[in-house]
Amino acid sequence: MKKIVIFFIFVAIIFSSGIIISSCFGANIEERDLSVDMTPRLISTRDNMNATEVSDAVKSAVVGISASSVRGTSVGSGVAIALGGYILTNQHVVGSSNDITVYFADKTKGSAKLIWSDFGIDIAILKSAIDMPYLETAPLSEVRVGEDVLAIGTPLSLQFKHSVTKGIVSALNRALEVENSNGTISYMQNLIQHDASINSGNSGGPLINFDGKVIGINALKAADAEGIGFAIPIETATVAIEKVIPNNSFQQTYVGVMAYDAELAYFNDETDASMGAYVMDIALNSPAFNSQLQSGDVITRINLLKINNTLDLRKAIYILNVGDEIEIDVIRRGEIKTIRIAT
């Protein structure tokens, strides 16, 4: 089977080596666009708008992002998802940077700080120093293959911030093997595949349906193909968003389980269970390591929540508080076992 090369779609400007991967032609001072309403509010939309109407309605909630560190500057995109200047983007765009600038649709800019991120799902939440309009989100259950979508972001450089491309949802629940910058392998799962054109710098930008709702965050594309892009479902981060906003922080519960969809493991003849989260590995000395959980188990329930896939697993773990004891049902060699884990 031919290996598909997938890469994260952000622009890195590396100063330390003297190599500029992408130059930023948009560095000149721009005059504020007074036609863009930046009043902080939930942007009001209606069902079944056309592409022009969607773009006009939502653009004030989208930002370009530059994040600087000792390694250089990365350029990406983001979208406001709550009042107070809370912006969702990819973790790989901002890293651990404490020098972040956001570029608004009215051609002004402001600072932002990183308040939460999760490398495992490649999501980060920023808080802009300037409040702004924000968009409603839609769960994965409302997304339909074949529906029209828009991708809005900052391809290539800040010169092209707030670029809009149109496509359709091509498939749901895609799982991809991704090689990380340190050479390790991780899995991105439950992804939305679409054919709206995305390029370097679109990372963190929203995938929006024609009701004007955010359904995903653009993160990856196939390197050797056209029209194969992937967005992380907004639902992946919904519980984290609800926990972060009240306190500007969120200490998530650590369990130490690396898992992927049992459906994929079933396809690879690794298990007889086709629903649940297949435990691929368990971190050394983690709460899961100190329990009876084993690699090869398929998690089907956490406390009262049914687990159909890793999206359900992630949401169930986000709901937990640090110190909670959890009860897990697993399928092991055809038998159901109940395991308790102290976090």
Contacts of 49 (CB under 8 A, 6+ apart): 57, 210, 211, 212
CA–CA separation, 83 vs 135, rounded Å? 9
* Cβ pair 137, 234 in contact under 8 A: yes
Q: What span, in angstroms and rounded, lies between the C-alpha atoms of 18 and 53?
A: 43
C-alpha 336/C-alpha 299 separation (Å) is 10
Listed in order, strand segments (DSSP E) in the chain are 6-8, 11-13, 62-69, 72-82, 86-89, 99-103, 109-118, 123-128, 148-153, 163-179, 185-194, 206-209, 214-222, 229-233, 257-261, 277-282, 298-302, 305-306, 325-332, 335-342
Tokens encoding 178: 């991704």
Determine which one of 74, 97, 106, 122 is catalytic.
122
Greatest alpha-carbon pair distance for the chain in Å reads 66
Residue 312 φ/ψ, nearest 5 degrees: -60, -40
Q: Which of 77, 163, 170, 203 is catalytic?
A: 203
Is 162 known to be catalytic? Answer: no
In this structure, which amino acid lies at residue 290?
N
Yes or no: say if 309 and 276 are a contact pair by the CB < 8 Å rule: yes
Please, are residues 325 and 342 in contact by the beta-carbon 8 Å criterion? yes
CA separation for the pair 324, 335 (Å, rounded): 26
194 is catalytic: no
Helical pair 310-319 and 235-247, crossing angle rounded to 10 deg: 10
Computed on alpha carbons and rounded to an integer, the radius of gyration of the chain in Å comes to: 20
Provide the token pair at 84: 């107070």
Contact of 196 with 208, CB cutoff 8 Å? no
Q: Which of 22, 60, 92, 106 is catalytic?
A: 92
117 an active-site residue? no
Kindly list the catalytic residues.
Answer: 92, 122, 203
